[in-house]
Structure 1
Amino acid sequence: MKNIEKIKMEDMKVMMVFFSATGNTQKIANVIQQKLHELNVSVSILDITSYLSRKEEISISQYDAVIFGFPIYSMRAPRVCREWLQKLDGEGKKCSVFFTFGGFGKDPAHYYIKELLEKQNFKLVSTGEFLGAHTFNRSGWQAAEGHPNQSDFNAAQEYTIRTIKRFTGEDLNEIREFKKPIFSSNQLDQAEKYRFHLITQLPTRSNNSCSMCGLCEKMCPTNAMNMIKGIADVNSCIACFRCIANCPDAVLHTNDLSNTWTKKLELHKTTKEEINNLKSKIYL
């Protein structure tokens, strides 16, 4: 057997990159960061949620491994994140990915992120999925309310420990093979265009009590929000609801989606309770 040199945890340098519009992914990233500190692993953080952050050139040469964190939109990492990843050269380095999801359509994400990262010359060693309140809860849904919770955070800590063992070489096992999805990437590309068909009104300012702080425009991941007009651009908005989640005046909203909640549950043959009881998982 080939002798593979192990890296001590205290000698390892890890970069963690995440996209988090409403805060779920950042909460898991914070838990992972804390656990890495407890393990004496050096970690640098890069938040790519903002538009400008994804325009900056980065180099991963100084790092031994990379952890990526994304929400799941339309059964995959968001398109803006996938496009950003396509600009990276993995340099053959080990990496891991964790996802946050609101209870629906998560399974193809692991398969397609592995495919993309390997194409970019990364070696994926683990993935994880963590339950988080659905984005559309801000417009009337009730999916995974109260998540991520302590159970999800505990799973994130375990994910960190087991992933680091893969990074250091203490665990030399290969990541599991993910079953090829029934939907091709081209089919998902088409479906992605209609992800937000339930939203007939993009994030819009509802009244005149806005303080015009400009935070919505500044924080928008795609430069879609116009502070002066008080509405997001239909061609750029990805309905991530970052503007709604962070508006200090609480004057941004979309159309009420309450009447679609029951239909969504029926479509997926599930219940609110079953979704809220889903468990975060680690894939090794």
Structure 2
Amino acid sequence: MVKYSAIESNIENGGSVLMEYNHMKEIYFSPTGTTKTIVNEITKYFSRKKEEYDLLNNPPEEEISFGNEDFVVVGMPVYAGRIPAVCAESLSKIKGNNTPVIAAVIYGNRDYDDALLELKTILGENGFIVISAGAFIAQHSIFPGVGYLRPDIKDKQAVRRFAKDSCEKFESIPDIKEINFEVKGNFPYREPAAIPLNPSVQKTCRKCGLCAGICPVNAISTEQPEKINRKVCIRCTACFTACPTNSRGFSGVRYALASKIFEKKFSARREPEVFL
């Protein structure tokens, strides 16, 4: 495992790529946009052109296949130390054929627990060859005071360094089928934990329905978007980001108390961890 801190070089500060990969693909699930940001930072080292698969807005209905001429970057958020079940379901429909892939998980500065191992395992079982893997930090989606405004400049420098190292590894190995490395995590995976906090909707809601359209688990009624199926909701906060009037969020005394406790325990800055 490698931990990246502040890095300084041409490429890490936004310099040009070393080469162009013609079959670059990126796959992500990014309710708040931060997972997409990390994936984009990795991808642009390899190519200015890429094909995007946004699993939040366009979950696959049929199987998607990639070949060994493709190069894929997959980024997933971490919820309570795991890959969200809705993401795992979408990934089950994405197949490779000895396709090189970079795996990345993005978490809110607490811990990524078993999520990176889970993602690496899913990709391997689906015919991909994982070249490298990394865990990166973003602003926490439920408690935004933790990891505030991350990924920041230091994070993006670390991502670029990771992309550079991944590229060099890929170019140096005659047969990628020989690649074998371990990542942090445990098996069996930790049990998914329910989040005992519920989103609320303010009176400023205009009932435009954007939240219902973006919800990955259909927990919001199109006819009555102020109503949320709390048993189905995964607290991804995609509806918060989509709301044009900022009418959706977490609030109340219980949330305020939980936020204070969480920030006290997990505000110390964590750095990206990568595995090559």
State the TM-score, normalized to the length of structure 2: 0.81
Check the 8 A contact 1:111/1:179 in 2, yes or no.
yes
Q: Is the 8 A contact 1:126 1:175 kept in 2?
A: no
> 1:180: Cα distance to partner?
5.2
More helix by share: 1
Q: Specify the alignment match of 2:107 in structure 1.
A: 101
**How far did 1:36 drift?**
2.8
Which of residues 182, 186, 196 in structure 2 aligns to 1:177?
182
Alpha-carbon distance, 1:97 to partner:
0.8
- Higher mean alpha-carbon deviation, 220-229 vs 147-156, is at 220-229
How much has 1:56 moved relative to structure 2?
4.5
Could you tell me which residue of structure 1 aligns to residue 223 of structure 2?
Answer: 228
1:24 aligns with 2:23: no
Task: After TM superposition, give the deviation of residue 76 of structure 1 in Å.
Answer: 2.0
- Partner SS for 1:225: coil
Deviation (angstroms), 1:261? 3.0
How far apart, in 1, do the equivalents of 2:20 and 2:44 lie? Answer: 15
Q: Select the residue among 249, 252, 263 that pairs with 2:261.
A: 263
Task: Find the counterpart in structure 2 of residue 248 from structure 1.
Answer: 244
Task: Specify the SS of the correspondent of 1:53.
Answer: coil
Equivalent residues in 2 for 1:206-221, closer than 5 Å: 206-207=202-203, 209-221=204-216
1:117 counterpart letter in structure 2: L
**Structure 1 residue identity aligned to 2:229:** D
Q: 1:95-122, CA deviations, whole angstroms, 9 ceiling, x for partnerless residues?
A: 1111111011313222222222222222
RMSD, matched Cα: 2.5
5+ long unaligned stretches in structure 1:
1-7
User: Per the alignment, in what secondary structure is the counterpart of residue 282 of structure 1?
Assistant: strand
Q: Structure 1 residues 251 and 262 mapped into 2: Cα distance closer, same or farther (>3 Å)?
A: closer
Partners of 2:259 and 2:74 in 1: how far apart? 30
2:83 is equivalent to residue 83 of structure 1: no
The CA deviation at 1:223 is: 1.8
CA deviation profile, 1:123-148 (whole Å, cap 9, x unmatched): 1111112110101125xxx2111111
Instruction: State the Cα distance separating 1:69 from its structure 2 match.
Output: 0.5
- Structure 1 runs (4+) deviating above 6 angstroms are none
Aligned with 2:201 (options 195, 200, 205): 205
Aligned length, in residue pairs: 254
Q: 1:3: which partner in 2? A: none
CA deviation after TM superposition for structure 1 residue 282, in Å: 2.1
Shift of 1:169: 4.3
Q: State the match for 2:150 in structure 1.
A: 147
Q: Could you tell me which residue of structure 2 aligns to residue 119 of structure 1?
A: 125
**Secondary structure class of the residue paired with 1:98:** strand
Task: Specify the code of the residue in structure 2 equivalent to 1:243.
Answer: C
8 Å contact 2:101–2:131 — kept in the other structure? yes
Amino acid at match of 1:244: F
> Runs of 5+ in structure 2 lacking a partner?
1-17
Give me the whole-angstrom Cα distance separating, in 2, the residues matched to 1:47 and 1:280. Answer: 23
Distance 1:176-1:83 versus aligned 2 partners, 3 A rule:
same
